[in-house]
């Protein structure tokens, strides 16, 4: 059984960047949040993890999305325990964050959709790194649906690349998130 990677934390952060498109309105929520990560390894090995835990803080100049890592799940209890205890070190680093400048976001008009790549900062495993988040946002006048994705490399955050019984996960992880925020 391969241990889940620290990438799950990064996935959570990516989701945060997507909500930023609604940054020019007072944000409340998020609702219907789903943050996930996808890691791969040899022989077609795929590990996916998800959580619905996320908060969005609207702080005037920046939007900060925080994903608590304790409820991140890959569907296999032993792998989850290894991911949280050995790789992500959740007791020491309980959450991952994504921070995006409000000015970088494009808020869609009611009935419209916006899509862009924006610079962001991911903080994971006690380290912060720049990234680019690709997001789409569509508004209906009352709320905005947001989805987004970014890529992280575990080693760039000081996370040991997971290996179990000689099978090692690739250090590159894709992170994605979807959610709704009120106040467009």
Residue 161 is assigned to a structural domain of this protein: yes
Condensed to tens digits (0 to 9), the pLDDT of residues 79-134 reads 999 999 999 999 999 999 999 998 898 878 888 899 999 999 999 999 999 999 99
Quote the number of domains for the chain.
1
- Name the nearest CA neighbour of 51 among 182, 181, 175: 175
Contact 101, 17 (CB under 8 A): no
pLDDT tens-digit series, residues 134-184: 999 998 878 889 999 999 999 999 999 888 888 889 999 999 999 988 864
In a 3-state reduction of DSSP, which class is residue 72? coil
pLDDT at 39 exceeding the cut of 70: yes
Residue of 45, 3, 23 whose CA lies nearest to 165: 3
Q: Are strands 95-101 and 113-124 parallel, antiparallel or unpaired?
A: antiparallel
Q: Within a domain: residue 21?
A: yes
Write the DSSP assignment of 124-169 as a string of letters.
ETTEEEEEEEEEEEEE-SSEEEEEEEEEEEGGGGTPPPPEETTEE-
Q: Say if 87 falls within a structural domain.
A: yes
In a domain, 73, yes or no: yes
2: in domain: no
Q: What domain range includes position 160?
A: 7-182
**pTM for this entry:** 0.82
State which H helix or E strand residue 33 sits in. Answer: strand 28-40
CATH number, domain at 145?
A: 2.40.128.110
Classify residue 95: in a domain, yes or no: yes
Decide if 67 is inside a domain: yes
- Asked if residue 63 is part of any domain, the answer here is yes
């Amino acid at each position: 059984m391969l241990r889940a990677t620290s990438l799950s934390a990064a996935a959570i952060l990516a989701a945060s960047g997507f909500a930023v498109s609604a940054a020019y309105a007072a944000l409340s929520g998020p609702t219907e949040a789903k943050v996930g990560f996808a890691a791969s390894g040899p022989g077609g090995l795929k590990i996916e993890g998800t959580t619905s835990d996320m908060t969005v803080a609207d702080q005037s100049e920046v939007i900060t999305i925080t994903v608590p890592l304790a409820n991140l799940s890959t569907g296999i209890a032993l792998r989850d325990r290894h991911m949280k205890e050995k790789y992500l070190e959740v007791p020491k680093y309980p959450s991952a964050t994504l921070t995006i400048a409000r000015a970088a976001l494009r808020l869609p008009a009611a009935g419209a959709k916006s899509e862009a790549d924006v610079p962001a900062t991911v903080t994971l495993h006690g380290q912060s790194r720049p990234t680019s988040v690709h997001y789409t946002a569509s508004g209906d006048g009352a709320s905005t649906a947001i989805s987004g994705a970014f890529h992280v490399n575990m080693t760039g955050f000081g996370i040991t690349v997971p290996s179990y019984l000689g099978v090692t996960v690739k250090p590159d992880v894709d992170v994605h998130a979807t959610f709704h925020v009120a106040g467009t």
